[in-house]
Every structure is written in C-alpha cells, then in structure tokens.
Amino acid sequence: MDTIFLTDLRVKAIVGIFEWERRVPQTVSIDLEIAADIKRAAEHDRIEDALDYKAVSQRVVEFTKSSEFYLIETLAEGIAAILTGEFAAQWVRVVVHKPGAIRAARDVGVAIERGQR
C-alpha cells in the first residue's frame, strides 16, 4: 500500500483544559499519513484517479477550526474518523502537535493509527 502524507498543517483551534485555552485559539500542527493505492493515478496521470489531498487538507482545517475539544486526543480521533469515513482511507496515522503546551518541551502531541494497513 502506498502512503500520501501532509506535514505540519497549521491550524488555530480552541483546544485545552484551562480557562484561558477555552478562550484563546492556539496553533496546532497536524501531520497525516493516509494509505492509498496510487497505482492507477500514477499509470494514467489523471487527478480523477488520485486522492484529492487539497480536499483532505481543507476538510481537516475546517473541522479543526470549528472544534472546541479539551484534549488533542479527541481532535486526533475526529480527524481519523473523517479520513476513514469521508475519504475512505483504509489506514491513517494522525499526529497532532501542540507546541508550547509544556514550557520545558519544544513540542507535545499524540499520534494515533486507525484502520487496517
């Protein structure tokens, strides 16, 4: 199986457990890996045969901007559900980074894998 990836998709979102986090959108960074069979698209060189990763990124940005989760774990699950449901991905890896969440760390995040590879 082939993999399409998007790295460092930055979105401002309400995410966090503290009162100030519920008021102030923070930048999260999202990495996606999506299992897809790209052989037909590569053979025919036709966008119609490819996974539309622009549509994927737009949908993930739209979902993330409109969400108000307490946990990045919940955000990651929602993104995975969109990819496996709306885009029929057989397998996905979703990484959500929340830089600055821990002062002493450059980055904090979660990585989940859903579906069958």
Among candidates 21, 10, 28, which has minimal Cα distance to 72? Answer: 28
pLDDT the model gives residue 12 = 97
pLDDT the model gives residue 103 = 87
pLDDT the model gives residue 1 = 81
Could you give the domains of the chain? 2-115 (3.30.1130.10)
Among this protein's residues, is 98 annotated catalytic? yes
Q: Give CA–CA dist 94/63, Å, rounded.
A: 14
Q: Give CA–CA dist 15/34, Å, rounded.
A: 24
Of the residues 12, 39, 54, 98, only one is catalytic, namely 98
CA 45 to chain centre: 26
pLDDT in tens, the chain (117 residues): 899 999 999 999 999 999 999 999 999 999 999 999 999 999 999 988 999 999 999 999 999 999 999 999 999 999 999 999 999 999 999 999 999 888 898 999 999 999 986
End-to-end CA distance of the chain: 8
β-strands 2-15, 68-69 pairing: parallel
